C-alpha cells in the first residue's frame, strides 16, 4: 500500500511480491473471525486491495507455481510473473561444511547409535503443523524399524509432544528434543536419515514455500511431506527426492514409512535437486531479472 502511494505520487514501477494470500491466512489462522462484522469488513477491504494490486502491478512475484496459476486464473494482471521459492544458502547447508566432531558429540548426547534410523522435524510447532499426524507416521515407521528415533529441532513449546506420545502409545524415550542457533542447524539435521513436515493445507496453502525443504534437501536427506502444500509435493515427486503419503490414514502412513525405508535416491541426487530449485544464487538472478525487465 505504501509502495503504491509512492508510485502514484512520484512515478515508477510497482512490484507486487506476495509471501502468501495474506488476508486468507489471517482467516484460516483464526486471527480474523468473519462472523465478527469488523473483521469481515477488514477482510473485504484487503481482498479488494489485493485485487487492485494484482491488476495494477507491473510485475508479480509468488513463492510457488501453484499460487501463480491461481492468480492468473482468477485475477486480472499484466501477466508479468516470476516464481521465486524460499531459497537456501547452499554453502551453509552443505554436506561439505558439516562439523563431524559436533555430529559425533550430538549422537553421543542423544544416545543415537549407528543402528538407529533418525527421523527429524525442524522448525516451529503450532496450529499450522500436523504434529499428531507426524507422530502417527513415526509410530508406523517404528513398527517396521524398531530402532527408529524422532528428533525435534525446535524452539517452540514441546509439551504437546509428550501428551500426544502418551495418547498414541509411543515410548517417549525414542523422542529427542533439542534446539540450536542458525549456524549449527545443518549439523543437527545431519544426524537424521530423513525429515518430515506435515502442514495444514487450505486455500492459502497454495502459496506456501517451506524454507526447511531446501535446507533439508541440500543436505542430501529425503523428505516426507503432505500433498497440496504449495509446490512441495510436486517437487518431491518430479525429482523423486521424497515421500508424499496419499492421506493421513494409518494405511497410507504405513505405506509411506515402508517407502521411506526402501528409498533409493542418493544424497547427491537430492542435493542436485535442491540446487535446481532452492539455490540462493538462482533466486537472486530471478529477482534481478524482474527489475531488468520492468
Gap between the Cα atoms of 143 and 104, Å rounded: 27
At residue 234, the pLDDT reads 94
At residue 109, the pLDDT reads 97
Contact criterion met (CB below 8 Å) for 214 and 88: yes
At residue 104, the pLDDT reads 97
At residue 201, the pLDDT reads 83
At residue 202, the pLDDT reads 84
At residue 216, the pLDDT reads 97
At residue 241, the pLDDT reads 96
Q: Is 253 left (phi over 0), alpha (psi -120 to 50) or beta?
A: alpha
The domains found in the chain, sorted by start residue, are: 2-84+280-292 (no CATH), 95-278 (3.40.50.2000)
At residue 4, the pLDDT reads 92
HEC string of the chain?
CHHHHHHHHHCCCCEEECCCCHHHHHHHCCCCCCCCHHHHHHHHHHHHHHHHHHHHCCEEEECCHHHHHHHHHHCCCCCCEEECCCCECCCCCCHHHCCHHHHHHHHHHHCCCCCCEEEEEECCCCCCECHHHHHHHHHHHHHHCCCEEEEEECCCCCHHHHHHHHHHCCCHHHEEEECCCHHHHHHHHCCCCEEEECECCCHHHHHCCCHHHHHHHCCCCCEEECCCCCCHHHHHHHHCCEECCCCCCHHHHHHHHHHHHCCCCCHHHHHHHHHHHHEHHHHHHHHHHHHHCC
At residue 291, the pLDDT reads 92
At residue 167, the pLDDT reads 97
pLDDT tens-digit profile, the chain (294 residues): 999 999 999 999 999 999 889 999 889 888 899 999 999 999 999 999 999 999 999 999 999 999 999 999 999 999 999 999 999 999 999 999 999 999 999 999 999 999 999 999 999 997 788 999 999 999 999 999 999 999 999 999 999 999 999 999 999 999 999 999 999 999 999 999 999 999 988 888 899 999 999 999 999 999 999 998 899 999 999 999 999 999 999 999 999 999 999 999 999 999 999 999 999 999 999 999 999 988
Amino acid at each position: 500500500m505504501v509502495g503504491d502511494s509512492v508510485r502514484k505520487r512520484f512515478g515508477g514501477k510497482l512490484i507486487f511480491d506476495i509471501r502468501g494470500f495474506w488476508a486468507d491466512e489471517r482467516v484460516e489462522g483464526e486471527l480474523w473471525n468473519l462472523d465478527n462484522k469488523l473483521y469481515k469488513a477488514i477482510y473485504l477491504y484487503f481482498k479488494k486491495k489485493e485485487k487492485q494490486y494484482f491488476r495494477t502491478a507491473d510485475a508479480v512475484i509468488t513463492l510457488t507455481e501453484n499460487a501463480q496459476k491461481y492468480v492468473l486464473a482468477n485475477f486480472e494482471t499484466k501477466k508479468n510473473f516470476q516464481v521465486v521459492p524460499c531459497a537456501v544458502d547452499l554453502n551453509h547447508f552443505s554436506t561439505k561444511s558439516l562439523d563431524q566432531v559436533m555430529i559425533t558429540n550430538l549422537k553421543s548426547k542423544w544416545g543415537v547409535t549407528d543402528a538407529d534410523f533418525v527421523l527429524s522435524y525442524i522448525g516451529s510447532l503450532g496450529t499450522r503443523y500436523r504434529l499428531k499426524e507426524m507422530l502417527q507416521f513415526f509410530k508406523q515407521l517404528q513398527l517396521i524399524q524398531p530402532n527408529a528415533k524422532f528428533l525435534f529441532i525446535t524452539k517452540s513449546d514441546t509439551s504437546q509432544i509428550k501428551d500426544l506420545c502418551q495418547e498414541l502409545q509411543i515410548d517417549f524415550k525414542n523422542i529427542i528434543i533439542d534446539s540450536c542457533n542458525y549456524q549449527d542447524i545443518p549439523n543437527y539435521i545431519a544426524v537424521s536419515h530423513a525429515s518430515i513436515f506435515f502442514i495444514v493445507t487450505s486455500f492459502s496453502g497454495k502459496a506456501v514455500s517451506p524454507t526447511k525443504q531446501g535446507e533439508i534437501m541440500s543436505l542430501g536427506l529425503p523428505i516426507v511431506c503432505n500433498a497440496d502444500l504449495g509446490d512441495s509435493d510436486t517437487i518431491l515427486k518430479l525429482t523423486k527426492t521424497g515421500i508424499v503419503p496419499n492421506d493421513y490414514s494409518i494405511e497410507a502412513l504405513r505405506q509411506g514409512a515402508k517407502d521411506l525405508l526402501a528409498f533409493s535416491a542418493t544424497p547427491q541426487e537430492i542435493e542436485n535437486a535442491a540446487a535446481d530449485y532452492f539455490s540462493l544464487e538462482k533466486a537472486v538472478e530471478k529477482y534481478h531479472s524482474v527489475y531488468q525487465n520492468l
